[in-house]
Amino acid sequence: MNAIAAQYAAQKIGSIFLYTHEAHPGEHYPHITSFAQKLRHAQALRTIYGVNRPILVDALDGACHRAYGSMPNMTWIFTRAGLPIYKSDWTDSDSVANMLDYLVTIRQRRRDGERVAPFHVERIDFRTKDQDGFYVGLTRNGSKAVREFDEAFE
């Protein structure tokens, strides 16, 4: 996502990361109980994953996360006017890039004088499922996170 943000920045398309909470808390990154702790977790995420986009930190009670659907790894794209034009219940860089390419094309079509009208579409995209990478992240949170995740799927 960092590469996508950098690629589209020249076209004045911004990108932020909203830190909500640890999806799988463990002894290294436990359940968040204070805003100061939440800020530390967000900073660790920036360092560990090399996030170079602005990171906004949700309220301690997760108000923003709940307002936008509460899924663990969502992506939303909004117009400058705040109109949601893309919502995905899972962040997938290929899907996001596909939408941004489409938006850039629409901008150009408008500049060329074409009249375009919006319509709603739903589709299912597919992502690579990296189970090994997922477990690396779980392990980073601690053995408690791994154990609880495994128990949930037994």
Q: What are φ and ψ of residue 25, in 5° steps?
A: -65, 150
pLDDT tens digits, residue range 73-110?
999 999 999 999 999 999 999 999 999 999 999 999 99
| Average model confidence (pLDDT) across the chain | 94
Q: What is the DSSP pairing of strand 55-57 with strand 17-19?
A: parallel
The H or E element spanning position 78 is: strand 75-78
Distance of alpha carbon 17 from alpha carbon 52, whole angstroms: 9
β-partners of residue 57 are: 19
| Contact of 148 with 24, CB cutoff 8 Å | yes
CATH assignment of 2-129, among 1.10.8, 3.40.30, 1.10.3470, 3.30.70: 3.40.30
CA 62 to chain centre: 15
Which tokens is 96 given?
């996001």
For residue 80, the one-letter residue type is: R
Per-residue pLDDT of 49-66, as tens digits, reads 999 999 999 999 999 999
pTM of this structure: 0.88
Q: How far apart are CA 56 and CA 50, in angstroms?
A: 15
